[in-house]
Amino acid sequence: MAYQRSIPRVFGVTAAATLAVVLAGCSDTPIPHQEFVSRPDLKPPEFQVTRGDAWDAEAAADDEYIFLTPNFDTDTPASAAMIVDTNGEVVWMDPSGQHDDDAGHFDLRPQEYQGEQILTYFKGPAAGGWGYGDIYLMDESYQVFNTVTTGGSLPPHETDFHDMTITEDGTMLLLAYVATQTDLTEVGGPEDGWVEDAVIQEVDMESGDVVFQWSALDHIPVTDSMLDYEEEHQAQEDDEDDDEAELGTQGQPFDYFHINSATLDDDGSILVSARHTHAVYQLDPDSGEVQWILGGRSSDFEMAEDAVFKWQHSAARDTDGTITLLDNHTKEDDGDSSRGLRLDVDEDEMTATVVTEYAPPEERPAGSMANTQPLENGNMIVGWGAQPYYSEFTNEGELLYDVCHGDACHEPKYDGGGGSYRAYKGPWEGDPNTDPDVVVQDSDNGQRRAYMSWNGATEVDRWRLLAGSDEDHVTQENSVPKTAFETSIPVLDETSEYLAIEALDADGEVLATVTPELENS
């Protein structure tokens, strides 16, 4: 099959907007957000944690963090990748944020590569609900050390943002959307129509060589799509403000499949989730042949009534043999409530039944994005995508905590978005190659205070202040625990000409020292 390069049609628009996760229009009132004296450039959203009936202290493990990519259509809060602790306190926020020529970060997550924990994320333009960019690899100091992108028959920088799974072989499963010509008459379109073909590539992360490639159009007919072509075409015609090319043409291909995840199954097969066919596919890792289909029009499984899912995301095999996924269940943000699902998929009897349902504490229709992530202890993380929340549940589906961020935390709503494509939880040890940021200023009551933060440093346990006439004559020495992104300590002697701020780890070892210049009041 000859591929035609997809042409991005809406550059410079945030991915949240292209995914239709932000409500039209913005309030004149800015969304409340956090501000820091030591880092005025960082403006993260507010986080509010609601504990569920199953809450216990183990749910707030100090060495595990939440990884998000909130996206706003307002100037504040800033759209950026970020890491927060289980109490909703910011640990790291990407200072570069989002630029006009890209969609910011997407799908920030910790992964293992060559025996080391790294961070991976997508960065690049977005158009129509998918991306055209590269996957970035970042080390513990938050420095990019490599990028992975499409190759072979596809041009570079065509990688989509929906998934980026690293395998034990040092390869990465990449996704791409490729405008391809095909007959659409069976779904009500033109004979010389165009679709967005879904392509999977397995790429060697060191050499960039493509070791496997799969095309949806080679295996899945357009008639399996649950996205009604004629309905979509009519909606476009009825929209007087829609000046894009006609649906089914090269300028506006029909997105019949919409791939949003590709992961390895426990036998080495590839599990694929396609939103627009309401189906999960198991692929032979050598030939690419479809071994079975779960859900949708051509399901090989008899689905229990409560196991039927729609518009789903992030299908994966858990260690207990079940398959987990996020059942969006709606294409709009005002439809049926979404849910996480754990399914028993019996490949002998060819049946699928619900093991556990992970339901939000209140109706929560996530019309796009969202994910489930099984944890090693059996718990489940659910990122609610278009709805700016994430939750953790026990294996039995009991709510441990539910966290809102940004718009969702306030009444009235500010219509500023803030949804995160996915949410992940995992261990991380950040060791930034920057110094802590310290600002010393007088407060409203005339008390001089030192404000300090260290963006991305996970090992800081306490901050210690040393003050006096010089380094050898310290008259004040006190420390306070680090409990949030920014900490402050009063400078008791305003005549001090020497000030040092030390970041200490849990053993009392000095991780860094900053000596800001002082001007006596």
Q: What is the pLDDT of residue 29?
A: 63
Whether the Cβ atoms of residue 323 and residue 294 lie closer than 8 Å to each other: yes
Q: Indicate whether 59 and 29 sit together in one domain.
A: yes
DSSP 3-state of 72? strand
Q: What is the pLDDT of residue 282?
A: 98
- Asked, for residue 22, whether it belongs to a domain, the answer is yes
Residue with tokens 């799969």: 214
Average pLDDT over residues 361-367: 95
3-17, 103-117, 246-260, 381-395: segment of lowest average pLDDT: 3-17
| Pair (443, 394) in one structural domain | no
Taking the alpha carbons at both ends of the chain, their separation in whole angstroms is 74
| pLDDT band at residue 395 under the 50/70/90 scheme | very high
What are the pLDDT digits (tens) for 315-350?
A: 999 999 999 999 999 998 888 999 999 999 999 999
Q: Are residues 163 and 302 in the same domain?
A: yes
Domain count, the chain: 2
Same domain, 386 and 457: no
For the stretch 423-450, pLDDT in tens is 999 999 999 999 999 999 987 777 889 9
**pLDDT reported for residue 417:** 75
Identify whether residues 372 and 463 lie together within a single domain: no
- Domain with residue 397: its CATH number is 2.120.10.30
Same domain? 29 vs 171: yes
pLDDT exceeds cutoff 80 at 415: no
pLDDT score at 1: 44
DSSP 321-356: S-EEEEE---SSTTSSPPEEEEEEEETTTTEEEEEE
At residue 406, φ and ψ (nearest 5 deg) are: 80, -130
Domain boundary among 427, 457, 485: 427
Position 87 in a domain: yes
Q: Which of 399, 427, 455 is the last residue of a domain?
A: 427
Sign of the dihedral defined by the CA atoms of residues 484, 486, 490, 491, in that order:
positive
The kind and range of the H/E element at 237 are helix 229-238
Tally of CB atoms within 10 A around 156:
11
The reported pTM is 0.92
In a domain, 399, yes or no: yes
Q: What is the spatial distance between Cα 478 and Cα 484, in angstroms, rounded to a whole number?
A: 18
- Residue 257 gets the label, from left (phi > 0), alpha (psi -120 to 50) or beta, of alpha
Q: Which of 427, 449, 481 is the last residue of a domain?
A: 427
Domain of residue 446: give its range. 438-514
Type of residue at 511: L
pLDDT at 291 over 90: yes
Q: Are residues 401 and 256 in the same domain?
A: yes
Based on the fold, state whether residues 418 and 479 are members of the same structural domain: no
Claim to verify: residue 394 and residue 484 sit in the same structural domain: no
The pLDDT assigned to 127 comes to 76
Do 342 and 472 belong together in one domain?
Answer: no
Q: Looking at residue 495, what is its pLDDT?
A: 79
